[in-house]
Chain A
Amino acid sequence: DTEVTQTPKHLVMGMTNKKSLKCEQHMGHRAMYWYKQKAKKPPELMFVYSYEKLSINESVPSRFSPECPNSSLLNLHLHALQPEDSALYLCASSQGARMFVAAFFGQGTRLTVV
């Protein structure tokens, strides 16, 4: 199994809603990542978890709240989002603590905030 699985694939939410994005991998990777990608732009790093601990938070607004319940799962909780938060949210994982070891991306969740 060399996949990073993200659910849902598409999500439409209102600005007052609370929703969560889910990411799962069963490759034994110990680092997991959230990236945000706006249309026609490169992915931008949001959060990094290493051994289930948050190691990098790239100054992301508090309306995005990551969670790593165990080494296979990564969630991104969303609350009171703005329309400009609409984007493709990508999850990635890597073996160990360095991204270069093996980097796998999920297919992403296309988020639309209305």
Chain B
Amino acid sequence: AQSVTQPDIHITVSEGASLELRCNYSYGATPYLFWYVQSPGQGLQLLLKYFSGDTLVQGIKGFEAEFKRSQSSFNLRKPSVHWSDAAEYFCAVGAASGGGADGLTFGKGTHLIIQP
């Protein structure tokens, strides 16, 4: 079974500083990886996804993530954060088993706090 670990429960970053959120996955085959963002009381918004090909993936809102198979990681980055980036960030892995639909397995999330 697949699993996702987000080692950082909380991260505090100053506005304008760079950001990296860590994600490690465990999956026997090629994983399908996602980053979602959730503002309080809201649904989840897809930031970016990785299926195959180029290991550096560009997403919305200036985010990018890099897939590193050797480290089983899919870390999320942004060069300069804005106060509006404060939210909960979830890394998720999807299985690619044959037949039927597969749901996502989420990490526990990283709460991002932006300092002025």
Contacts and interface: CB of A to CB of B under 8 A. Distances in A.
A42 interface: yes
B28 interface: no
A107 B108 contact: no
Interface in B37-68: 41-46, 49, 51
Q: Chain A interface secondary structure, helix, strand, loop or mixed?
A: strand
A79 interface: no
Contact of A90 (B34, B43, B105): B43
B108 A55 contact: no
Contact of B42 (A33, A45, A107): A107
Chain B interface category by residue count: 20 to 34
Interface in A87-113: 88, 90, 92, 94, 97-100, 103-108, 110
Interface stretch (B18-26, B76-84, B96-104): B96-104
Contacts of B44: 43, 90, 92, 105
Interface in A15-74: 31, 33, 35, 40-45, 48-50, 55-56, 58
Given A33-B101, A56-B101, 14 more contacts: A41-B108, A42-B108, A43-B104, A45-B104, A48-B100, A48-B103, A49-B101, A92-B44, A98-B94, A98-B102, A105-B44, A107-B43, A108-B41, A108-B42
14 contacts: A40-B109, A41-B109, A42-B107, A42-B109, A43-B106, A45-B103, A90-B44, A98-B32, A99-B94, A99-B102, A100-B49, A100-B96, A105-B36, A106-B43
Interface of A: 4, 6, 31, 33, 35, 40-45, 48-50, 55-56, 58, 88, 90, 92, 94, 97-100, 103-108, 110
